[in-house]
Amino acid sequence: RDWRALALTHSSSRWSRGTTSATLTTTGPTSRSVAGAGRSRSRLIGDVKFKDSLSSNPEDVGQRGAFVGLGNTEPGTSADVFGLEQRGAVGDGDFRPSDGGGYVAYKKADYAHALSRSDTDVQMYLFETFGGWCNAVKRLFYQMKDKVRNKLSKRQHEDEASWSTRSWLSLQAQRMSVALQLAAAEEIATELRLAAASEDAAVA
């Protein structure tokens, strides 16, 4: 579902589609400008995540998301992408975000090999279904905005912009938000069709 999202901003990228994420890989001179959103490297791997901060089971809904932006999605997603170093001991109790104390178990990064390379920059681009964008996404969009001086092209101005999108950033942010919500709606529709098909099969 996530492959639609960053494709709006980098049409020449290579994508690997998954159920909850998509991977964007760029190499060569083109990627240097994009990689500037993180560290300046010659190769960028951007893992796009699109997650819901809630759950169908109320008991699984984290409380941190009510007080911290992306609090229910970013910590776990970051741990998957970048891994975790062990801290403390098992007897120290669970990790406490409030003071940084407690035990953190080692977790191998999904991109451990890429992170070990000096020529590669790994970025996590996290979106939430309720509209949240992580800081890496915002940095990327602001960098692209600066490259075009936040101005629309003639074609964008005539064919794409509306009264509410009179700058490059407002247009692209709106397009991204629409693409994300369409992707979420498509997944819901797909799940409902699968559920209906299962019910029909059971009746038959």
Is the pLDDT at 72 greater than 50? The verdict is yes
Give the global pTM: 0.77
DSSP string for residues in 118-155: TTEEEEEEEEETTS-B-HHHHHHHHHHHHHTTT---HH
> Where does the pLDDT of residue 21 fall: very low under 50, low under 70, confident under 90, or very high at 90 and above?
low
> Where does the pLDDT of residue 63 fall: very low under 50, low under 70, confident under 90, or very high at 90 and above?
confident
Strand-pair partners of 25: 14, 45
Give the alpha-carbon dihedral of 162, 46, 138, 169, to 10 degrees. Answer: -20
Amino acid 123: pLDDT: 95
